[in-house]
Amino acid sequence: MEQFVICPFDRSHRLLESRLKRHIFNCHREAWERERCLREAASRASHTPPSPPPRAPPPPPIIECPDNWDNEISQTYVPSMSRELLLDRTAINNYKSVFRRK
């Protein structure tokens, strides 16, 4: 006499042991397909020889630049602080008043 087994996906399903495979296929098709794909992938992985790891491409050559500003002899640039460059506070306030919302 066959024994009853419990479905591994739904504990409320009780069935004969001989019908378990068919039950899983009919009742839980997604799990069956997923398991089948995993079995096929495992079987393919065991049959194919491992491939060597890919080699990294060699680094690009370093290009020397003929211009090196650190080697040039020159003084540091300091712009002269002339009156034209400084903004007057009244000019700033006049500028703001033009764009002020009314």
Amino acid 91: pLDDT = 65
Mean pLDDT of the chain: 75
Structure tokens at 16: 């004969």
Q: Which residues pair with 48 in a beta bridge?
A: none
Q: Which residues pair with 14 in a beta bridge?
A: 6
What mean pLDDT do residues 7-19 have?
A: 85
pLDDT at 45 over 70: no
Residue 15 · residue 5 · CB < 8 Å? yes
What H or E segment, with its residue span, contains residue 95? Answer: helix 89-99
pTM of the entire structure? Answer: 0.30
Amino acid 61: pLDDT = 92
pLDDT level of residue 41 (50, 70, 90 thresholds):
confident
Whole-number Å distance between alpha carbons of 5 and 11: 10
What H or E segment, with its residue span, contains residue 5? Answer: strand 4-6
- Residue 98 backbone class (left: φ over 0; alpha: ψ -120 to 50; beta: rest): alpha
pLDDT level of residue 96 (50, 70, 90 thresholds):
low
